[in-house]
Structure 1
Amino acid sequence: MARRRQAVTIKHVAADAGVSLQTVSRVINEEPNVRPAMKERVEASIDKLGYVPSIAARRMSGSRSYLILALNDRERTIADWQARQGTDWVDQMLLGGMLKCAEFGYRMIIELVDTHSDHVERELNTALLALQPDGIILTPPHSENPQITGLLEERGVPFARIGVRDDEGNLSLVMDDEGAARLATQHLIDLGHRRIGFIAGSGEYQLSSWREKGWREALAQAGIPSDGLSAGGDFSYDSGFAAAEKLLVRDPRPTAILASNDQMAMAAMDVAAERGLAVPFDLSVVSFDNTPMTIFSQPPMTAVDQPIAATVSRAVELLIAANRGEELPTETEVIPAKLIERGSTALAPDGG
């Protein structure tokens, strides 16, 4: 029988480097009071021996848990997973958050909490007690829920709010929804479109109003009217279908539609097909999010690429910095989005 390899411990590292256990612990926990030469020696021994510090041991050595907890809306997330329609918000959160956590020796966990539940405080308190996270990432609509933010402030847990502009000094990040909507609308204007419809998202999210504002501002700057060209949705396919029907019965109808997410954009393309309109030759369509469905739609959709991974990655950086007592930004950070041009947009028919 082969002998089981003995696990490398902090004691082995200390012996190899010729230092105390306390010194190794300070290096592992990235404490500031370690001389550079000593830190280099310990890190060389860690690499040589292949030592991997466990989170459990690190948690016991100090007050930090080395866990970052991200909260996402339970109802919408489960509905997206069950629908299997290619939404990848959580995937992108994990991509950005887990990779950044790994750089600093942290771990990221996602919890689903129903922001509408009367038990939201109990659910959140249970998660905080069980995990004792070093920081919380709040996504919409949790980031806009004062019941949640108030509880975290009361408990003294650092948190970063995504999708919210916070003027009170809390950590907050937005994905430039307003600027992205202007960019997408300008793309359509540059193609000669002058009747550009807009399908808004749910009023439950601040970003819905920012996207509509960006669309209106781009049209106003070009001297193009927007009155009567906006229809409300709630980010679902069905609401996008109803909104697109409302827009496309207008006379004259829009020659282009900017939808506030991919599912509503897909619905707009389906309404166009039912009405005998060819995308993009009769109707151009631009979407927000750039989930996998945009690539496989027919034609593939021009879409605003939401920088979800980059935003969550930055949120992790800020929370770790907060735990280290570093100086933090006092204003909302804006993570720029970009437009991916595909086959669903073309020159306006008959001059727009």
Structure 2
Amino acid sequence: MARRRQAVTIKHVAADAGVSLQTVSRVINNEPNVRPEMKQRVQGAIDRLGYVPSIAAQRMSGSRSYLILALNDRDRTIADWRARQGTDWVDQMLLGGMLMCAEHGYRMIFELVDTHSDHIEREILGAIAALQPDGIILTPPHSDNPQIVSFLAKQNIPFARIGSHENGFGIPVSMDDHGSARMATEYLLGRGHRRVGFIAGSPEYNLSGWRVDGWKAAMATAGLPTDGLLAEGDFSYSSGESAARQLLESMNRPTAIVASNDQMALATLEVARSLGLDVPGQLSVISFDNTPLVHFTQPPLTAIDQPIASTTSKAVELIIAAHKGEARPEALTVITADLVERGSVADCIDRLGG
């Protein structure tokens, strides 16, 4: 039976190079005040032994943990997992965050936190004590939760707030929800639609309001009314069904609908079918998110492709810069979205004579 190879540790590197553990740690962490010849000796030992620095070794200097902690909404994430509906938000967040972390020698840890918990501060403090992260990423709705934000502001840890516009505590990084909703609406207006309905997301998320504002702004610029064309959802499929039925059974039925996420857009397609409405012949639909599901609907959904991976990547980059003492951006960092055209939008032939 083959003998298992002993793992190479920082102690082996120090012994091989004839230096202290602290010196090896300083070289690994690329700290100043290490003589070039000493760096060369340590690097030579690392190369000879095939040593891969561990987080524990990197922490020896006491200045960095090389961990970024990302906090996501517990209830909604678990609900999506249990419903087997996918969590593309989480997938894209990890994609962008982990790749950027890897470029800088960091690791990303993903934790679920209940924004409604009476013990939210205790939960976060426990994670901080256990992991000692160099920075924290907040995602909606945590990013605009005043209790969480004010608590983190006292912890002396850089943190980024994805989906937030408030340039106070933390580092806000926006995906331009207002501009994305406006872009989707203007695209429909450009295709001849004049009654463009909108299904809003949960009011618990500030971004829901920004998307509504973007839709309203596009309609106002075109001189078009929005009365009776807004329906409230909460990002769930069932709420999308109710909202779509409210819009499509009204006397002022829209010829197009922008839904604030893919689940509610899928529900809109189903309600349209139940009412005998052809998509896109009689109803055009645009969604937010652009998760894998929308590629396989009939017809495939035109969608706002939210730059979740790019936004998380930028958040990691800004956190690492802040931990190094670099000045944070004075202006809001905005990552713009794209609109992906598929088969759910057609030029409008207004059968209702509006």
TM-score (norm 2): 0.92
1:154 counterpart letter in structure 2: K
Tell me what 1:316 maps to.
316
Instruction: Please give the alpha-carbon distance, in whole angstroms, between the structure 1 residues aligned to 2:223 and 2:136.
Output: 44
Instruction: Please give the alpha-carbon distance, in whole angstroms, between the structure 2 residues aligned to 1:194 and 1:158.
Output: 46
Instruction: Please give the alpha-carbon distance, in whole angstroms, between the structure 1 residues aligned to 2:182 and 2:157.
Output: 36
2:98 corresponds to 1:113:
no
2:278 counterpart letter in structure 1: A
Q: Deviations over 1:214-266 (max 9, x none)?
A: 11111222222222211111111111111111111222411100011111111
Contact (CA 8 Å) 2:25, 2:57: kept in 1 or not?
Answer: no
Q: CA deviation at 1:177?
A: 0.6
TM-score (norm 1): 0.92
Identity fraction in percent: 69
Q: CA deviation at 1:24?
A: 3.8
Question: Compared with structure 1, are the counterparts of its residues 2 and 248 closer, same or farther at alpha carbon in structure 2 (3 Å cutoff)?
Answer: closer
Q: Deviations over 1:276-313 (max 9, x none)?
A: 00111110000001111111111111100111111111
Q: Deviations over 1:27-77 (max 9, x none)?
A: 311324457787577556645543200111211232321111111111111
2:156 corresponds to 1:182:
no
1:25 counterpart letter in structure 2: S
Tell me what 2:292 maps to.
292
Q: Deviations over 1:319-344 (max 9, x none)?
A: 11111112221222101110111111
Tell me what 2:77 maps to.
77
Tell me what 1:193 maps to.
193
Instruction: Please give the alpha-carbon distance, in whole angstroms, between the structure 2 residues aligned to 1:119 and 1:214.
Output: 35
Tell me what 1:234 maps to.
234
Tell me what 1:90 maps to.
90
- 5 Å matches for 1:61-76? 61-76=61-76
- 5 Å matches for 1:167-178? 167-168=167-168, 170-178=170-178
Q: CA deviation at 1:6?
A: 4.1
Q: Deviations over 1:135-177 (max 9, x none)?
A: 1111111111111112212222221111111232631101011
Moved more, 165-174 or 107-116: 165-174
Instruction: Please give the alpha-carbon distance, in whole angstroms, between the structure 1 residues aligned to 2:46 and 2:280.
Output: 58
Q: Secondary structure at the match of 2:60?
A: helix
Q: CA deviation at 1:11?
A: 5.5
Tell me what 1:218 maps to.
218
Tell me what 1:139 maps to.
139
- 5 Å matches for 1:145-156? 145-156=145-156
Tell me what 1:349 maps to.
349
Q: CA deviation at 1:25?
A: 2.5
2:325 counterpart letter in structure 1: G
2:304 corresponds to 1:304:
yes
2:127 counterpart letter in structure 1: A
Question: Compared with structure 1, are the counterparts of its residues 349 and 299 closer, same or farther at alpha carbon in structure 2 (3 Å cutoff)?
Answer: same
Q: Secondary structure at the match of 2:112?
A: strand
Tell me what 2:281 maps to.
281
1:111 counterpart letter in structure 2: E
Question: Compared with structure 1, are the counterparts of its residues 280 and 40 closer, same or farther at alpha carbon in structure 2 (3 Å cutoff)?
Answer: farther
Contact (CA 8 Å) 1:166, 1:331: kept in 2 or not?
Answer: no
Question: Compared with structure 1, are the counterparts of its residues 169 and 39 closer, same or farther at alpha carbon in structure 2 (3 Å cutoff)?
Answer: farther
Question: Compared with structure 1, are the counterparts of its residues 311 and 47 closer, same or farther at alpha carbon in structure 2 (3 Å cutoff)?
Answer: farther
- Alpha-carbon RMSD: 2.2
Contact (CA 8 Å) 2:303, 2:340: kept in 1 or not?
Answer: yes
Instruction: Please give the alpha-carbon distance, in whole angstroms, between the structure 2 residues aligned to 1:33 and 1:329.
Output: 29
Question: Compared with structure 1, are the counterparts of its residues 323 and 227 closer, same or farther at alpha carbon in structure 2 (3 Å cutoff)?
Answer: same
Instruction: Please give the alpha-carbon distance, in whole angstroms, between the structure 1 residues aligned to 2:43 and 2:343.
Output: 51
Q: CA deviation at 1:191?
A: 1.1
The answer for unaligned runs of 5 or more in structure 2 is none
